[in-house]
Amino acid sequence: MKMMKVIWFLLGLCLLSGCGRLNSMNNNATSPAPVVIGQDGPADQPASESSSHAAAETAGIPAKPERISVKVKGIYMSAYVAGTPAMMDAIIEEIDRTEINALVIDLKDDFGRIVCSMDSPTVTELEAVRVYISDMEGMMKKLKEHNIYTIARIPAFRDSWLGERKPEWCIHNADGTLFTDRDGNTWANPYRQEVWDYLAEISIEAGKLGFDEIQFDYVRFCTEKRMDHVVFDDSDVKGRSRTDIICEFMEYQYSILKAEGLFVSADVFGAIINSDVNADAVGQLYGDMAQYLDYISPMIYPSHYANGNFGIEYPDTEPYRTVMAALSESRKELYFVAQNGGHIAEVRPWLQDFTATWLTNHIPYTGAEVRAQIQAVYDAGYDEWLLWDASCNYEWEGLLSPAAADEETGQVAQSRAALTETTFAPPETEETEETAGLKTAGDYTE
């Protein structure tokens, strides 16, 4: 009964927003590192965008593609799988019979390599191409034939290839050596304009290849302890904090890519929601970043929360409660940001479709656990989601058919419309048992 009260309370809040080979695949995908969280405006284009598009055509100026938003229900696809026709055909077959309508595909891998041929001067100069997808044009054509929305995943600042080809663009230790993380990867320097322009160049080319959206991952600083030895040149920093520069980077990319007709999204740690400590270390401010994105995707995998977080003994074993609690924090933080007016990104969380075998207290993630997380997204007042499995072996039985998904969407809309309008205000009274478990706090480790 207490859980139902929490669910209906959060549903009311929605109105505030307008509401062998497998190893090879894993080596070319960002498997969800066990980041442990310790105990301590709509994206739809405004009407003026369509009229501006028409005005440009009337004046004889080449108009950029019109941005048409989609309510995304998507999955991640590694470059290896995307570049293997038989595997890709099997994925498309599953997509056709389920509610999935979008793919997040690696365009730049986690080591800095571009996964297909690309007409980019800087990519050519860096010799950054390592072909996994040999027929990108044919693949994109097939995806469009199946009405699949395409998102180009571009890891931003973790980039080992830049460390080899442009070390001056990367982070250095105080002794002048290149910084490397525990896996030996170098990281691009977020304070360097050349890095921003390189990523914008890749993103623009992604649009030319037919992608609908750019999704930046690793839009952050490395969070390992060894970062204590890193120094940044004052001439690059210019007095800006880590959170300052990440927000400036997103604003820069958003202004360029939106003008190119692309949607822009970014992956962020779930730990940064309502946590200044985590935000300062990572460089990600949830509410601030949401002002320069169409979609923000917090990675709220239940396996990545420490025992006891949200008042849940073992978060990985309770996917519904964990996702619900994380998204309630998201809604509260973005509510306060929205009070200042202006644009706020749609929230499109990453959900867990893998079993966290490294945890002592874990459960197998089957279709039931995947569905429980999806239900939590809807019950928290959000509509979009993405599923992550580095090996791309998804629990398809947890997904609905297109017809059943349409029916569910209608039911969710009716239940929300029936609620009385509410406003959110932080409780001034003493914390209750029901709300105590919905707080986040504190440190994290990688």
| Measured distance CA(375)–CA(418) in Å, rounded | 18
Give the rounded percent of residues in the chain with a pLDDT score beyond 70: 79
pLDDT, tens digit (0-9, with 9 covering 90-100), for 96-130: 999 999 999 999 999 999 999 999 999 999 999 99
Q: Which residue has the higher pLDDT, 32 or 226?
A: 226
Question: If pLDDT is split at 50, 70 and 90, which confidence band does 251 have?
Answer: very high
Statement: residue 11 has pLDDT above 90 = no
Which pLDDT value is given to residue 419? 61
Res 439: pLDDT: 32
Give yes or no for residue 315 having a pLDDT over 50.
Answer: yes
Residue 54: inside a domain: no
pLDDT confidence band for 218 (50 / 70 / 90) = very high
Q: What are phi and psi of 385, to 5 degrees?
A: -160, 160
- Lowest-confidence range among 182-196, 216-230, 251-265, 422-436? 422-436
Q: Within a domain: residue 364?
A: yes
Domain annotation covers residue 154: yes
Q: Is the pLDDT of residue 390 over 90?
A: yes
Residue 403: what are its φ and ψ, rounded to 5°? -65, -45
Whole-number CA gyration radius for the chain = 21
Average pLDDT, the chain: 84
Q: How far apart are CA 96 and CA 87, in angstroms?
A: 14
Q: How does pLDDT run across 147-197, given as a tens digit for each residue?
A: 999 999 999 999 999 999 999 999 999 999 999 999 999 999 999 999 999
For residues 160 and 175, what is the distance between their CA atoms, to the nearest angstrom? Answer: 19
β pairing state of 36-37 and 102-106: unpaired
In a domain, 329, yes or no: yes
Q: Is 261 within the bounds of a domain?
A: yes
Which helix (H) or strand (E) element contains residue 388?
Answer: strand 385-388
Report the pLDDT averaged over residues 59-72: 74
The CATH number covering residue 27 comes to 3.20.20.80
User: Is residue 138's pLDDT more than 80?
Assistant: yes
Least confident of 190-199, 366-375, 425-434: 425-434
CB atoms within 10 A of CB 204: 16
Model's pTM, two decimal places?
A: 0.83
Residue 60 lies in a domain: no
Residue 443 forms part of a structural domain: no
Specify the number of domains making up the chain. Answer: 1
In single-letter form, the type of residue at position 4 comes to M
CA atoms within 13 A on the CB side of 361: 14
Q: Give the range with max mean pLDDT: 4-18, 38-52, 344-358.
A: 344-358
**Predicted local distance difference test score (pLDDT) of residue 64:** 65
Residues near 446 by beta carbon (within 8 Å), at least 6 away in sequence: 33, 34, 35, 223, 224
- Antiparallel, parallel or unpaired: β 263-269 and 295-299: parallel
**pLDDT at position 293 over 50:** yes
User: In this structure, is residue 432 part of a structural domain?
Assistant: no
Structural domain for 27, as ranges = 2-47+67-426
The pLDDT value recorded for residue 24 is 38
pLDDT computed for residue 237 by the predictor: 97
Asked if residues 296 and 350 have their Cβ atoms less than 8 Å apart, the reply is no
